[in-house]
Amino acid sequence: MEICVVGAGYVGLTTAAVLADRGHTVFCTDVDTDKIAKLRKGIIPIYEPGLTELIKDNQQRDTLFFDTDSKKHMAHCPVIMIAVGTPSAKDGSADMKYVKHVITAIAETIRSYKTIIMKSTVPPGTADWVEEELQQRGTRPDLFDIVSNPEFLREGTAIEDTVHPDRIVIGAKRSEAAMKVQEMYASLQTTFLLTNRLEAELIKYASNAFLATKISFINEIARICDAYSADIMEVSQGIGLDERIGSRFLQAGLGYGGSCFPKDVNALDYVASSKGVKLDLLHAVKKINRSQIDIYLNKITHALGEWTEKPRIAVWGATFKENTDDIRYSQAIALMKKLTHRGYAVYAYDPLATPELPSVIWCSSPYVAVEQADVLVVATAWHSFLEADWHKVKTLMRRPVIVDGRNALDKKNLELHGFAYMGVGRP
């Protein structure tokens, strides 16, 4: 198939590369001229393991092309996939301005039949709205189908998730359109869930809301563990062994961040309240996630005790999770802001990200960051942090105190090295 993927971000790039690799001819377009210029030269603007090789291979095989001219490729490709951003607006709703631009461009170019796939995460009712919008702009209804096909990949493992998805959800009005999209994914061995568009749109929001709930749930249980001096690691292992619950997303820590969970929980809350539905559970999920940072701050303040000289805090990690360069809604950054606000000197290191933050000093290595530090906070579970030279870290720090923001470090090993270790729910 000839496919035009609109939006060369984390989702668009990965999906375009995998579809090209699976035998389709893919034209991936973006309004960002710099991004497209880089991609054409084989420079990948984001960090995603394995993506550079996959893109370059398919560029060389002439199956993957990058362009700024979306309209040109929308006009000739029978399949258009929309993968633009849907960030949070100020009121918590999904900001649909990028999707609207794409719909306008489709309306202006459409001359032959198109299967329009909505890959972006969009509020329930969007497919119906797009259909009406295109018709109001004079597009004949027989010239297109809108298919909702939400994406579930995780940054850091995006290619693996795209090649081996748990399921592919296809929401369509007409079965012919659903079959066309299923055919596009024919090379992927997975379960296909064919449903209606509204349900497909809701599946995406409900999935992210559920995962966020799991994280806030385990963080709340960690608070009880802290009160009893019980170990959340044992508790979460015991819970996770129950197949009805499952072990994933049961890691207590700084809470969830990233470009999806916070915005999608907010967007779901927004659409629910617009229908008069109050989401008590999700309000609690958000509240727990916000206060998780304060729990860490209090632990750090407690560890510092009375001080005369300005405390120096080393923070390892800025991205919202390991194996990505994405810092959107990163809890690590939210913590750094609060630490500087409290008057602490913050020396930070991340393998990929050095965002400009007032009063945060970025260091050239994790070891430079810990020099003379009173506390080391591991805010992102990068593998290199977990495997650090702890002997070296201990000799460099002023006081050997480690706060584990992801409950990911080997507590026993750190204690053997002479560190005072603090996580959440770790006695």
Ligand X SMILES: NC(=O)c1ccc[n+]([C@@H]2O[C@H](COP(=O)([O-])OP(=O)(O)OC[C@H]3O[C@@H](n4cnc5c(N)ncnc54)[C@H](O)[C@@H]3O)[C@@H](O)[C@H]2O)c1
Binding residue positions for NAD(+): 30, 35, 86, 121, 155, 263, 328
Q: Are 18 and 162 in contact (CB under 8 A)?
A: yes
**Segment contacting ligand X by CB under 6 A, of 3-11, 140-148, 179-187, 275-283:** 3-11
Pick the binder of ligand X from 63, 93, 120, 182 (CB under 6 A).
Answer: 120
Strand, helix or coil at 318? coil
Q: Toward ligand X, which CB reaches closer, 31 or 194? A: 31
Q: Are 3 and 27 in contact (CB under 8 A)?
A: yes
Q: Toward ligand X, which CB reaches closer, 211 or 375? A: 211
Cβ partners under 8 Å of residue 28, min gap 6 = 4, 5, 8, 12, 13, 16, 39, 64, 65, 66, 67
Q: Is 165 in the site for ligand X (CB under 6 A)?
A: no
Catalytic residues: 260
Residue entry with tokens 């991340």: 350
CB burial class (10 A; 0-12, 13-18, 19+) of residue 57? middle
Q: Toward ligand X, which CB reaches closer, 82 or 363? A: 82
Beta bridge partners of 24: none
Q: How far is it, in rounded angstroms, from Cα 4 to Cα 82?
A: 8
Please, which of residues 30-59 interact with ligand X by CB under 6 A? 30-32, 35
Pick the binder of ligand X from 259, 289, 323, 330 (CB under 6 A).
Answer: 259
- The least CB distance from residue 94 to ligand X, in Å, is 8
Q: Are 334 and 301 in contact (CB under 8 A)?
A: no
Pick the binder of ligand X from 3, 5, 10, 65 (CB under 6 A).
Answer: 10
Q: How far is it, in rounded angstroms, from Cα 382 to Cα 117?
A: 34
Q: Is 9 in the site for ligand X (CB under 6 A)?
A: yes
Q: Is 102 in the site for ligand X (CB under 6 A)?
A: yes
Pick the binder of ligand X from 63, 88, 121, 289 (CB under 6 A).
Answer: 121
Q: Is 11 in the site for ligand X (CB under 6 A)?
A: yes
Which single residue brings its beta carbon nearest to ligand X? 9
Q: Are 380 and 348 in contact (CB under 8 A)?
A: no
Cβ partners under 8 Å of residue 298, min gap 6 = none
Helix residue spans in 146-196 (DSSP H): 158-163, 175-184
Pair of tokens at residue 36: 């497209």
Q: Is 101 in the site for ligand X (CB under 6 A)?
A: yes
Please, which of residues 329-358 interact with ligand X by CB under 6 A? none
Residue 317: closest CA among 212, 408, 237, 231: 408
Q: Toward ligand X, which CB reaches closer, 130 or 153? A: 153
Q: Is 148 in the site for ligand X (CB under 6 A)?
A: no
Q: Toward ligand X, which CB reaches closer, 70 or 139? A: 70
- The least CB distance from residue 411 to ligand X, in Å, is 30
Question: Which residues of this chain interact with ligand X, rule CB under 6 A?
Answer: 6-12, 29-32, 35, 70, 83-86, 98, 101-102, 120-121, 151, 153, 155, 259-260
